[in-house]
Amino acid sequence: NAGVMQNPRHLVRRRGQEARLRCSPMKGHSHVYWYRQLPEEGLKFMVYLQKENIIDESGMPKERFSAEFPKEGPSILRIQQVVRGDSAAYFCASSGGTRGPNQYFGAGTRLSVL
């Protein structure tokens, strides 16, 4: 039973490029959460999605960031025109219900912007 799978594990982009981060939730989970961990900081919530729906995106930066969780395939966090301040670890979590307990985390994608 595979856990939450994130890829790539490491991603290097130059300023102005696009970054696409993928997250496959645990089998049977239909709720996905994205968190960002900036250097020397705690994890900050970004967005909560269910299949084909964005439920809460209150933690997403207003520009350049978008997320989706299509009916088929992984959830995608997309960052357009990356800047150095986007360098961080991005974690995905999944759960089988809405109420937080038993959110399972992936190993994260570490984005470095040159």
Partner 1 sequence: KQEVTQIPAALSVPEGENLVLNCSFTDSAIYNLQWFRQDPGKGLTSLLLIQSSQREQTSGRLNASLDKSSGRSTLYIAASQPGDSATYLCAVWRETSGSRLTFGEGTQLTVNP
For residues 16 and 114, the answer to whether their CB atoms sit within 8 Å is no
Residue 39 near partner 1 by CB under 8 A: no
Q: Which is nearer to partner 1, 58 or 72 (CB)?
A: 58
Site string for partner 1, 62-91 (x = CB under 8 A): -----------------------------x
Q: Which is nearer to partner 1, 77 or 93 (CB)?
A: 93
DSSP 22: E
The DSSP-derived string for 35-99 is EEE-TTS-EEEEEEEETTEEEE-TTS-SSSEEEE--SSS-EEEEE-S--GGG-EEEEEEEESSSS
Q: Which is nearer to partner 1, 81 or 102 (CB)?
A: 102
From 15, 27, 44, 51, residue interacting with partner 1 (rule: CB under 8 A): 44
Which span (19-27, 62-70, 73-81, 104-112) binds partner 1, by CB under 8 A? 104-112
d(CA 107, CA 110): 9
From 45, 64, 87, 96, residue interacting with partner 1 (rule: CB under 8 A): 45
Strands 109-113 and 88-95, how do they pair? antiparallel
d(CA 86, CA 99): 29
Binding site for partner 1 (CB under 8 A): 4, 33, 35, 41-45, 48, 55-56, 59, 91, 93, 98-108, 110
